[in-house]
Amino acid sequence: MSQHFHHNPVRVKSGSLFATASEALQARLSKIKRKDKECQAYFRKVIKSTLFQIVMITTVTTNSFLLVLGTNYDIQFKFFRTFEVSELFFVSVYVCEFLMKVYVDPITYWKDGYNILDVIILIIITIPYLLRKIKGNHFAYLHFADGIQSLRILKLISYSRGIRTLIIAVGETVYTVASVLILLFLLMFVFAILGFCLFGMTDRGDLENWGNLASAFFTLFSLATVDGWTNLQEELDKRKFTVSRAFTILFILLASFIFLNMFVGVMIMHTEDSIKKFERDLTLERNLAIMEEKQIILKRQQEEVNRLMNTQKSGSMNFIDMVEGFKKTLRHTDPMVLDDFSTSLSFIDIYFVTLDNQDVIVSKLQELYCEIVNVLSLMLEDKPKESSSSLSGLS
């Protein structure tokens, strides 16, 4: 008893010491200032560039295609040297990719699961070479080592966000799918015992399909997938089992139409949620990229305006000359930041409607002015007649 009480604190203390040591090591490594920041930034830009991703996708796809061609022994024998040279090229590209990524982020690289997958694939690539060097070309498991080279195509996962989204969706369905599979297993367990007792009799039972629990489980799996269930039912009908049809129909309804459809529904629901989340993330990243670009443009425009203001204050050039010089530097490809309300589409639409209304009002005013002018001209024409009649009356 005393040993038990003295032993547990030591284990807890050692675990806490290990965690503290790892945290201290990570903090110390993060404080180290690299002297090759420019080179690191350059390689980071290269890795995140679209051209690099296209090159890697093309390399992995070509490697997979050559693996398919290598399954034909005639082609492999005819182009043996080509396959060897291409294998060296592909392995060199994969190693260079690994070294570049580790050089850019030597700590955070190991925190990404897809990077760990790339490292595992690199280890798998080296297995056939090591086995041939150590065990020779006639090793029993050498063909298996060559066969798992097909896992190289999994390197495409790290370059496809759509595939990663589907993997995340599958990972999120693990617990729900496990619950559905457990319920299906319980249902199959009950029906396997029941089928063994009903149809596994030694005298006239179907011993091939229901003779033991293992064969009963395999038969129920065939019924659940509705694969060859009519042949199984015919075997039971030949032996005159009266409850066999009710047993088969009930199990197919429960297993195939309920549980398997429930399994598919859970997968579809989580996949749709992951796709919607993926679209939201893409929209957010796009908006952030646009905002960053706008901030850069605004900063550059502010610097140019400040430079113009300082030039004007110095008195070396007047404002009109500066504006004319600034116009000559403008190009049609220069981006414009349209954050002002007066440049929004809704404002422009309302402004055009307002201009149309103003045109209508101006035309009506012109008609009114024409009528006023016409009336005034008539009044002026009648004025001399009235003056002449008044003069004749006086005379």
pLDDT one-digit tens code per residue, 281-306:
888 888 888 888 778 877 877 777 77
How confident is residue 8, by pLDDT bands cut at 50, 70 and 90? very low
> Cα(353)–Cα(346) distance, rounded to whole angstroms?
11
Q: Which of 208-217, 310-319, 338-347 has the highest mean pLDDT?
A: 208-217
Fold observed for domain 35-159: Four Helix Bundle (Hemerythrin (Met), subunit A) (1.20.120)
Measured in whole angstroms, the distance separating CA 90 from the mean position of its chain's CA atoms is 26
Is the pLDDT confidence value at 172 over 70?
yes
CA dihedral in degrees (265, 270, 272, 275; nearest 10)? -160
Tell whether the model's pLDDT for residue 12 goes beyond 50.
Answer: no
Least confident segment among 97-106, 185-194, 304-313: 304-313
Q: Which whole number is the average pLDDT over 169-190?
A: 84
* CATH code assigned to 164-276: 1.10.287.70
User: Above 60 in pLDDT, residue 14?
Assistant: no
The reported pLDDT for the residue numbered 388 is 62
Give the per-residue pLDDT at 9: 41
Higher per-residue pLDDT: 257 or 334: 257
Q: What is the pLDDT of residue 169?
A: 77
Q: Which amino acid is at 144?
A: F
Q: What is the dihedral of CA 305, 311, 313, 318, to 10 degrees?
A: -100
Q: Is the pLDDT of residue 389 over 70?
A: no
| pLDDT band, very low/low/confident/very high, at 307 (cuts 50, 70, 90) | confident
The full DSSP string for 300-314 is: HHHHHHHHHHHHHHH
pLDDT reported for residue 384: 66
Regarding predicted confidence, which is higher, 318 or 395? 318
Q: What is the mean pLDDT of residues 261-266?
A: 83
Give which of 121, 55, 117 is closest to 91, Cα–Cα: 121
- Rounded average pLDDT over 209-215: 87
**Percent of the chain residues topping a pLDDT of 70:** 79
Does pLDDT of 221 surpass 70? yes
Query: According to the model, what pLDDT value does residue 344 have?
Result: 61
- Tokens 């420019």 correspond to 38
- What does the pLDDT read at residue 54? 92
Give the residue, 30 or 267, on which the prediction is more confident.
267
Q: What are the distances in angstroms from CA 278 to CA 144, 162, 284?
A: 37, 8, 10
Among 334, 325, 287, 280, which residue's Cα sits nearest to residue 307? 325
Residue 73 pLDDT > 80: yes
In this prediction, residue 120 carries a pLDDT of 92
* Phi and psi at residue 387, to the nearest 5°: -70, -40
Has residue 337 got a pLDDT over 70?
A: no
CA atoms within a 13 Å half-sphere pointing along the CA-CB vector of 80 = 4
Name the residue with higher pLDDT: 18 or 265. Answer: 265
Residue 336 has pLDDT above 70, yes or no: no
Q: Return left, alpha or beta for 33; rule: phi > 0 is left, psi -120 to 50 is alpha, else beta.
A: beta
- Please choose, from the candidates 152, 162, 164, the residue with its C-alpha nearest in 3D space to the C-alpha of residue 126: 152
What pLDDT band is residue 109 in, cutting at 50, 70 and 90? confident
pLDDT of residue 7: 41
Q: Determine the average pLDDT of the residues in 109-130.
A: 89
Average the pLDDT over each of 80-84, 295-299, 322-326 and give the range with the smallest value: 322-326
Average pLDDT, the chain: 80
Question: pLDDT tens-digit profile of 251-261?
Answer: 989 888 888 88
